[in-house]
Structure 1
Amino acid sequence: MPRPATNKRERLTAAAIHMARESGLESATIAAIAAAAEVPAGSVYYYFKTKDDVAAAVADGIAAVLADGREGLDSADDRAALTGFLRAYLDDSTAVVSYGTLLSTAATVGGADAHREALGWLTSRFAGLGFADGAARARALHLLAGVEGGAALAHALGEAEPLEREVAHLERWVANAGG
């Protein structure tokens, strides 16, 4: 039974995101993206005219996933939201070890916007804990650098331990944070 045509773009974008995380966007050819999405290669050009269009779709798709994840934490108090942000890295640890983080992939593909958005969200959460603007931003930078660094090392070593240890450390740090 043929697939409905209505979700081709989503399937193509999902395939491109997977490839970008797995081996970098440069290795994601139109033919490979089409095959992974089970879409005829000629159809890809209807949705993505250039490799830059694919990169933009990947960056936008990852940004949407990350925004949805943060949105899911918005109802939590600030401390719980920060801990939830850290826990999301552990929930994705198998993929992090294999592919790196979604945030880093988005930055590689589409620039630093995803990091800036995460940093802004983290800064607002630390401000909610009572930290002044400069201190809230400094703490947000520290948390983001720590968890992304732990994830990068986990990816490089092919094991989750560096990420697990860094998240545990940062969770204790957040639990003791007070403005």
Structure 2
Amino acid sequence: MTGKRERLAAAAAEVFHRQGVEKTTIADIAAAAEVPVGNVYYYFKTKDQLVQAALGAHARSLQDLIVVLEEHEQPRDRLQALVQGWIDQREVAAQFGCPTGTLATELGKRADGLDRESAANMRALIDWVERQFAAMGRSDAGELAVALVASYQGISLLANTFRDPELMRTEGLRLERWIDGLQS
């Protein structure tokens, strides 16, 4: 991707997170990317193409995060670092919700293919978490992965609903203790 295209994709992801897809205009994304509105159409002909680019930006962010998490030697430590990252982002989650989760929720109401692309991002996270639990020797790794991600998505929703970042911190600390208790 060119620098401008990449900047537009990142801006789209950010603005969609703050405002939602339906309320966001192409002009909003152009302003966030500091690109003239006319230039947006050179790279993206439709708003849905910008949504698709935002999904790609989310996928790249997850891949980058996984690279950092994989620096931890033990799978338990990787999961703990993931949860700590969620705790560290609690102010953003309280204000706007989880970037991936809010977009998945909004796109889940559509049946145009973008819903499945969004689901693929969530699936990538669940699959990575499942591999960590499997590496801990857990035969129920799939169930644990869904439980962990569901807990995070749920607390993101509640923190956003009540505009209370401390809910996220409290749940994150509980999840860290839970992960410790699962060590085989």
TM-score scaled by length of structure 2: 0.88
**In structure 1, C-alpha distance between the alignment counterparts of 2:149 and 2:39, rounded to whole Å:** 39
Query: Residues of 2 paired with 1:75 and 1:8: CA distance?
Result: 31
Q: Deviations over 1:52-96 (max 9, x none)?
A: 100000011011112211221112110000001111111211111
- Pairing 1:63–2:62 present: no
Q: CA deviation at 1:31?
A: 1.5
The residue that corresponds to 1:35 in the other structure is: 31
The equivalent position to 1:90 in structure 2, one of 64, 73, 87, is 87
Tell me which amino acid in the other structure corresponds to 1:84.
A
Of all paired residues, the percent bearing the same amino acid is 36
After the TM superposition, which of the residue ranges 78-87 and 99-108 deviates more from structure 2?
99-108
Pairing 1:79–2:76 present = yes
My pick for the range that moved more, 9-18 or 156-165, is 9-18
The residue that corresponds to 1:21 in the other structure is 17
What is the DSSP-based 3-state SS (H/G/I as helix, E as strand, rest coil) of the residue aligned with 2:42? helix
Task: Tell me, yes or no, if structure 1 residue 130 matches structure 2 residue 130.
Answer: no
1:34·1:40 contact (CA, 8 Å) conserved in 2?
yes
> Which 4+ runs in 1 deviate beyond 4 A?
none
Letter in 2 for 1:32: D
Aligned Cα root-mean-square deviation (Å): 1.4
Residue identity matched to 1:90: I
In structure 2, list runs of 5 or more residues that go unmatched.
108-113
Structure 1 residues without counterparts, runs of 5 or longer: 1-5
Partner AA of 2:121 in structure 1: A
> Aligned equivalents of 2:183 and 2:155: distance in 1?
24
CA distance in 1 between partners of 2:59 and 2:35 (Å): 24
Q: Is the 8 A contact 1:66 1:103 kept in 2?
A: no
Relative contact order (C-alpha < 8 Å, sep 6+): which is higher?
Answer: 2
- Could you report, residue by residue, the CA deviation over 1:29-71 in whole angstroms, capped at 9, with x for unpaired residues? 1112112222111110111111110000001101111221122
Distance 1:36 1:137 in 2: 38
Amino acid at match of 1:124: R
What is the aligned partner in structure 2 of residue 119 from structure 1? 126
Under a length normalisation based on structure 1, what TM-score does the superposition of the two structures give? 0.90
Number of residue pairs matched by the alignment: 172
Question: 1:81 is aligned with what amino acid?
Answer: R
Which letter does structure 1 place at the counterpart of 2:49? Answer: D
Q: For structure 1, which segment, 122-131 or 10-19, has the greater mean C-alpha deviation from structure 2 after superposition?
A: 10-19
